[in-house]
Amino acid sequence: MLKGYLTALITPFRDGKIDDEAFQSFVEWQIAEGAAGVVPCGTTGESATLSHDEHMHVVELAIEAASGRVPVLAGAGSNATDEAIMLTRHAKTSGAAAALLITPYYNKPVQEGLYQHFKAIHDAVDLPIVIYNVPGRTSVDITVETVARLAELPNIIGIKDATADLERPLELRRLVGEDFRQFSGEDATVVAFLAHGGHGCISVTANVAPRLCADIYAAWDAGDPAKALSIQERLLSVHDAMFVETNPIPAKWGVHLLGRCREEIRLPMTTPSPQARKRIETAMREAGLLS
């Protein structure tokens, strides 16, 4: 059962190509630091600029590195339903525990189109599916009612909610029950999200602070919300810094500061501005992430 902090992994590059060694070493570090799962090829993994071959290669690298120790929730979304089916089939054959499927971007489908998109993938591939709702990226918002309708399908098991709307987990829990997996996609809301019935976070901040993020959930799960909140307060400036420029620019720079990847990022993304670099480094130092 998916729960806790899952890291939305950055994708390291070396001279324009996937840095296999750095990526698998990064997955190993994430697991050692307490990540409850890893999520390759999401927004933070620069999926928008990966070729199909690269995308599938990164998923395979993550599954190989995780080696069954934690679940791999493979990014497999697309604004083209057939392409999403293809990537989800690959995730299944490669051994992913589940697929993370973003709402179709740019097309701006209506709610019936969203339902039919996810149902088509569900019907084509026998793999658990987590819906990813991030209207700020996609310009489309899947409603709680549409999610509840999709939750009636046996392999639609959860949602990553990056709306920062804290009424939604309560509303969805009321409609579909507590077993449907709900993950915050906004690090700064996670303690409140857990209090409203959530099960964890698919996290950007965990790229640079996996241990502290894991500790937030561990404290919550142990019935110590005060400790969870204390750690969240310690990380608040880091959460903010991870979005000082468009994700994954700050996250990749932060991982670079930790010495775990090169600073390379693919156009049209660019490395952070000097001001952003200073803010990222300052926040990480203040949280004790850099010596």
Residue 160 annotated to the active site: yes
Confidence at residue 291, expressed as pLDDT on a 0 to 100 scale: 84
Average predicted confidence (pLDDT) for the chain: 98
Per-residue pLDDT tens for 205-250?
999 999 999 999 999 999 999 999 999 999 999 999 999 999 999 9
Residue 132 annotated to the active site: yes
The domains of the chain are located at: 4-224
* Close Cβ partners of 118 (under 8 Å, ≥ 6 residues apart): 101, 129, 131, 150, 153, 156
The whole-model pTM stands at 0.96
Q: Give the rounded distance of the alpha carbon of 172 from its chain centre.
A: 20
Query: Cα separations (Å) of 97 from 68, 88, 112?
Result: 9, 11, 27
Confidence at residue 200, expressed as pLDDT on a 0 to 100 scale: 98
- Position of tokens 């080696």? 67
- As a whole number of angstroms, the distance between CA 244 and CA 5 comes to 22
96, pLDDT greater than 90: yes
Topology given in CATH for the domain delimited by 4-224: TIM Barrel (3.20.20)
Rounded mean pLDDT, 54-76: 98
pLDDT band at 1 (very low <50, low <70, confident <90, very high): confident
Report the length, in residues, of the chain: 291
202, pLDDT greater than 90: yes
SS (H, E, C) 35-70: CCEEECCCHHHCHHHCCHHHHHHHHHHHHHHHCCCC
Confidence at residue 269, expressed as pLDDT on a 0 to 100 scale: 97
Percent of the residues in the chain that have a pLDDT greater than 90, as a whole number: 99
Write down the catalytic residue from 5, 92, 115, 132.
132
Confidence at residue 114, expressed as pLDDT on a 0 to 100 scale: 98
Rounded mean pLDDT, 84-109: 98
Contacts for 81-84: CB closer than 8 Å, 24+ residues apart: 81/117, 81/120, 81/121, 84/117, 84/121
- As a whole number of angstroms, the distance between CA 111 and CA 81 comes to 15
Residues in a beta bridge with 4 = 200
CB atoms within 10 A of CB 16: 7
97, pLDDT greater than 90: yes
pLDDT band at 72 (very low <50, low <70, confident <90, very high): very high
Rounded mean pLDDT, 91-105: 98
pLDDT band at 141 (very low <50, low <70, confident <90, very high): very high
Strands 181-184 and 73-75: unpaired
**Crossing angle, helix 20-32 and helix 52-66, to 10 degrees?**
40
141 three-class SS? coil
Percent of the residues in the chain that have a pLDDT greater than 70, as a whole number: 100
Write down the catalytic residue from 92, 160, 217, 252.
160
- Position of tokens 């303690």? 191
* Close Cβ partners of 189 (under 8 Å, ≥ 6 residues apart): 164, 166
Per-residue pLDDT tens for 165-197?
999 999 999 999 999 999 999 999 999 999 999
Rounded mean pLDDT, 55-67: 98
